[in-house]
Chains A and B, each alone.
Chain A
Amino acid sequence: MYKKCLITAFEELKADYFVLMIEDSALAQVSEPGQFFNLSCSDGDIPRLKKPISIYDVDGSEIAFMIKKVGKGTEYLSKLKVGDSIDVLGPLGNPFPLVSGKSVLMVSGGVGYPPLVYLKKKLEDCEVISIHGGRSYDDIFLCDYPFTEDGSYGRKGLVTAHLEKIIKKHKIEVIYTCGPDSMMKAIGRKALELNIDCYLSLEEYMACGIGACYGCAVKVKADNEQGYIYKRVCKDGPVFEVKELWMEDK
């Protein structure tokens, strides 16, 4: 759906993070964890491309986004106010497959955090353990195991450092991850090694967001000479199972 929606809440979080809420019951009803919206970030100025933002929460007829200001598009979003309206295209992409009655690990980095929050809410009868990492204290949100690169909060280092220990300790059966590419690939490799199901929500630069332009390509294993084909993160993803992916570092 492509709609103009009213902004019903705006909340500054710490540092460059904020939460934006829109109201639309039809959209809220069909918004699932792992899906995203392309949000319009322009009144005609550059950038004019819409920006992909994951669904952070759905509450009744409201949809929430948690966003980090990193450039002009997200800066535009950070200046919106309650009562303003915004063009939204979505929900787009395929949701995370939901499991029940399992021991689940969620691993996020930076703005990979929001889709996993909504996922956690939707998982039934699961024991969920969460790891979240960021550059410093400002990038850390509620989770079981916080990590910072500079050591300003939680454990110092990368989220991948204690991965195996945590997996074994909590007898993890399924992993969901979203964050920087290198982080997700490292987690994916560990999951392959330990033979654990692992779903990655990938990020790529997007234009159309609906599968038309083939701009958001990612390598997926295939039965051909090269061993891979390109699929579209926006339409074929953004969620992929680790076994499908061609696991090379960018």
Chain B
Amino acid sequence: MNERLKTRLGRLELANPVTVASGTFSYDYADYVDFNRLGAIVTKTITKEARGGNPTPRLFETEAGLLNSIGLQNPGLDKFIKEELPKYNQWKAPLLVSLSGSSIEEFCEIVARMDEEDCAGYEINVSCPNVKNEGIAFGVDPKVVFELTSKLRKHTERELIIKLSPNVTDIVSVAKAAKEGGADSLALINTLLGMAIDWKTGKSRIARGVGGYSGIAIKPVALSNVWRVAKAVDIPILAMGGISNYQDALEFFYAGASVVAVGTENFMNPLATIELIEKLDMHLESQNISLKDIIGKVKGVIL
């Protein structure tokens, strides 16, 4: 592409600032999307052992968003490396592998193993329960996030992204802990907690009751989190949460994001990523600016 769209995510120089949100995109989209045009590719979260996933129903479209309760269904690390990684590595876009574990040791084991394979970096999904800490999610406790990040840092020289959950008291302190632990960049936000009930029957729309809420509805929440984290922490931000077009993306750049990811919108429009890249480029050209000129440059905020 061109200079206007170039951006930096920690150790990586990306040709453009558009990628995909973990779990919403896979090589199945290759029939529709030219993966070589993406700034980066992010995989679905991989765990050490295969995971069967949650009971069904797992999805429900509700007010301006989507509830999901997939339960990290994935084939496990070995099968991922054998069967899926080669498919992703046929494209030149940098590959970021999303991963999760049930203990700090398990996270480290996965990163160490992946480091023997070809990929550009890791997005660490800390929204899952820590079995050694009463099942409390890793991502809620800054101390745990610091310990996890600093241990992971010892296992890799590749891009290390910590993906933050919005379901915490203070996302800024978690972000600071990740940076101090050695993260190169931060991804935010993961899904909010949400629920839907059929008022006619009283039945929960998804089997697990509470699920992850994503899509347009969560955009303002994501934007405020990105802005607050960007102000407090000086490492690049990969932003997601309700981004469906180039106008949404621009808002996130002004708030402080260096890269944006399209998630739920892929389901509504499989070409959303490509359209976003094209229209963003046209917009920047028409304004005669480049991305670097606007990142973090939100105006009109009186503190």
Interface residues of A (CB under 8 A from B): 1-2, 42, 46-50, 87, 89, 204-218, 226, 229-230, 235, 250
Contact = CB atoms under 8 A, between A and B. Distances in A.
Contacts of B28: 208, 210-212, 235
Contact of A46 (B25, B52, B58, B61): B61
A2 B266 contact: no
Interface stretch (B103-111, B115-123, B248-256, B267-275): B267-275
Q: Which secondary structure dominates where chain B touches chain A?
A: loop
Given A212-B25, A235-B28, A205 B268 contact: no
B240 to A, nearest CB: 15
Interface stretch (B65-73, B76-84, B136-144): B65-73
Contacts of B25: 212
Nearest to A217: B56
Q: Which secondary structure dominates where chain A touches chain B?
A: loop
A46 B53 contact: no
Contact of B70 (A48, A210, A215, A218): A215
Contact of A208 (B52, B56, B73, B266): B266
B268 A49 contact: yes
16 contacts: A46-B63, A46-B64, A48-B268, A49-B66, A89-B32, A205-B59, A208-B266, A212-B26, A212-B266, A213-B267, A214-B44, A214-B58, A215-B58, A215-B59, A216-B59, A230-B52
A210 B59 contact: no
B204 interface: no
B71 to A, nearest CB: 9
A226 B267 contact: no
Contacts, number: 82
A206 B266 CA distance: 13
B59 A230 contact: no
Interface of B: 23-26, 28-29, 31-32, 44, 52-53, 56-61, 63-64, 66, 68, 70, 73, 215-216, 264, 266-271
A192 B242 CA distance: 46
Residue of A49, A50, A89, A229 contacting most chain B CB atoms (<10 Å):
A49
A217 B53 contact: yes
Given A2-B271, A213-B70, A204 B61 contact: no
Contacts of A212: 24-26, 28-29, 44, 266
A99 B247 CA distance: 52
Contacts of B23: 213
A1 B33 CA distance: 11
Contacts of A48: 61, 215-216, 268
A250 B66 CA distance: 22
B29 A218 contact: no
Contacts of B264: 207
A215 B270 contact: no
